[in-house]
Protein backbone atom coordinates (compact mmCIF):
# COMPACT_ATOMS: atom_id res chain seq x y z
CA UNK A 1 0.00 0.00 0.00
CA UNK A 2 1.34 3.42 -0.94
CA UNK A 3 1.63 5.90 1.92
CA UNK A 4 -0.17 8.58 -0.10
CA UNK A 5 -2.85 7.70 -2.63
CA UNK A 6 -4.37 9.88 -5.33
CA UNK A 7 -6.77 9.12 -8.14
CA UNK A 8 -4.70 9.78 -11.30
CA UNK A 9 -7.67 11.12 -13.28
CA UNK A 10 -7.93 12.79 -15.69
CA UNK A 11 -10.64 14.86 -14.07
CA UNK A 12 -12.47 17.06 -16.59
CA UNK A 13 -14.64 19.96 -15.46
CA UNK A 14 -16.22 22.96 -17.19
CA UNK A 15 -14.84 26.43 -16.60
CA UNK A 16 -16.26 28.00 -13.45
CA UNK A 17 -16.87 24.69 -11.68
CA UNK A 18 -15.76 23.90 -8.14
CA UNK A 19 -13.07 21.24 -8.23
CA UNK A 20 -12.41 18.78 -5.44
CA UNK A 21 -9.08 16.96 -5.44
CA UNK A 22 -8.47 14.31 -2.80
CA UNK A 23 -5.75 12.23 -1.21
CA UNK A 24 -5.70 9.55 1.43
CA UNK A 25 -2.69 8.63 3.48
CA UNK A 26 -1.82 5.71 5.72
CA UNK A 27 0.99 7.06 7.92
CA UNK A 28 -0.37 8.33 11.23
CA UNK A 29 2.90 10.14 11.84
CA UNK A 30 2.24 12.67 9.08
CA UNK A 31 1.76 16.07 10.67
CA UNK A 32 1.97 18.49 7.77
CA UNK A 33 0.74 18.44 4.21
CA UNK A 34 1.31 20.27 0.98
CA UNK A 35 -0.45 20.67 -2.34
CA UNK A 36 1.50 21.36 -5.53
CA UNK A 37 0.44 22.27 -9.04
CA UNK A 38 2.59 20.95 -11.85
CA UNK A 39 2.26 22.02 -15.45
CA UNK A 40 3.50 19.68 -18.14
CA UNK A 41 7.32 19.44 -18.22
CA UNK A 42 7.68 21.97 -15.39
CA UNK A 43 8.67 21.75 -11.74
CA UNK A 44 5.93 21.53 -9.07
CA UNK A 45 4.69 24.86 -7.72
CA UNK A 46 3.68 25.01 -4.04
CA UNK A 47 0.01 25.99 -3.64
CA UNK A 48 -0.86 25.25 -0.04
CA UNK A 49 0.87 24.20 3.18
CA UNK A 50 -1.07 22.99 6.20
CA UNK A 51 0.16 21.80 9.59
CA UNK A 52 -3.06 20.84 11.33
CA UNK A 53 -6.55 19.53 10.80
CA UNK A 54 -9.10 21.95 9.45
CA UNK A 55 -9.35 24.35 6.54
CA UNK A 56 -6.92 26.84 5.08
CA UNK A 57 -7.95 29.27 2.38
CA UNK A 58 -5.83 31.21 -0.11
CA UNK A 59 -7.70 32.99 -2.87
CA UNK A 60 -9.62 30.44 -4.94
CA UNK A 61 -7.92 27.53 -3.17
CA UNK A 62 -8.96 25.81 0.06
CA UNK A 63 -6.99 22.99 1.62
CA UNK A 64 -8.75 20.69 4.05
CA UNK A 65 -7.13 18.15 6.35
CA UNK A 66 -8.98 15.50 8.34
CA UNK A 67 -6.39 13.59 10.36
CA UNK A 68 -8.99 11.35 11.96
CA UNK A 69 -9.84 9.82 8.59
CA UNK A 70 -6.40 10.46 7.02
CA UNK A 71 -8.00 12.42 4.22
CA UNK A 72 -6.80 15.65 2.61
CA UNK A 73 -8.54 17.72 -0.02
CA UNK A 74 -7.92 20.71 -2.24
CA UNK A 75 -10.89 22.72 -3.47
CA UNK A 76 -10.60 25.12 -6.38
CA UNK A 77 -13.40 27.64 -6.82
CA UNK A 78 -14.29 29.27 -10.12
CA UNK A 79 -11.91 26.98 -11.99
CA UNK A 80 -10.13 28.39 -15.02
CA UNK A 81 -8.49 26.75 -18.04
CA UNK A 82 -5.16 27.90 -16.58
CA UNK A 83 -5.83 25.54 -13.63
CA UNK A 84 -5.39 22.60 -16.01
CA UNK A 85 -2.39 20.77 -14.58
CA UNK A 86 -1.42 17.83 -12.41
CA UNK A 87 -2.00 18.33 -8.70
CA UNK A 88 0.27 16.57 -6.23
CA UNK A 89 -0.39 16.09 -2.54
CA UNK A 90 2.35 15.30 -0.03
CA UNK A 91 2.63 14.47 3.64
CA UNK A 92 5.51 14.73 6.08
CA UNK A 93 6.36 13.62 9.60
CA UNK A 94 6.99 16.07 12.38
CA UNK A 95 10.72 16.58 12.79
CA UNK A 96 11.39 14.65 9.60
CA UNK A 97 13.10 15.86 6.47
CA UNK A 98 11.21 13.73 4.01
CA UNK A 99 8.00 14.42 2.12
CA UNK A 100 6.01 11.54 0.70
CA UNK A 101 4.15 12.39 -2.48
CA UNK A 102 1.10 11.01 -4.19
CA UNK A 103 1.33 10.24 -7.90
CA UNK A 104 -0.83 13.24 -8.82
CA UNK A 105 -4.28 13.93 -10.27
CA UNK A 106 -4.52 15.38 -13.75
CA UNK A 107 -7.11 18.14 -14.00
CA UNK A 108 -8.56 19.56 -17.22
CA UNK A 109 -10.71 22.66 -17.10
CA UNK A 110 -12.57 23.06 -20.35
CA UNK A 111 -14.05 26.18 -21.93
37/79 with CB nearer another protein: 37
Cis omega (within 30 of 0) for bond into 10: yes
Q: Contacting another protein (CB under 8 A), which of 49, 54, 66, 78?
A: 49
Instruction: Please state, in angstroms and rounded to a whole number, the distance separating the CA atoms of residues 56 and 66.
Output: 12
Residue 11 contacts another protein per CB under 8 A: no
Total of chain residues touching another protein, rule CB under 8 A: 28
Contact between 91 and 29 under an 8 Å Cβ cutoff? The reply is no
14/59 with CB nearer another protein: 59
| Nearest residue to 105 (alpha-carbon basis) of 6, 37, 3 | 6
Residue 33 contacts another protein per CB under 8 A: no
Smallest separation, CB 39 to another protein (Å): 10
Residue 91 contacts another protein per CB under 8 A: no
- Considering only the stretches 21-29, 53-61, 70-78, 91-99, report the one whose residues sit in contact with another protein under the rule CB under 8 A: 91-99
Residue 102 contacts another protein per CB under 8 A: yes
The sign of the torsion formed by the CA atoms of 69, 51, 12, 77 equals: positive
Strand partners, 92: 32, 99
Amino acid sequence: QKEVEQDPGPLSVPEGAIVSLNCTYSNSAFQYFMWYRQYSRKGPELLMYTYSSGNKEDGRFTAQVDKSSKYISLFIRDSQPSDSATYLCAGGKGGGNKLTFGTGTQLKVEL
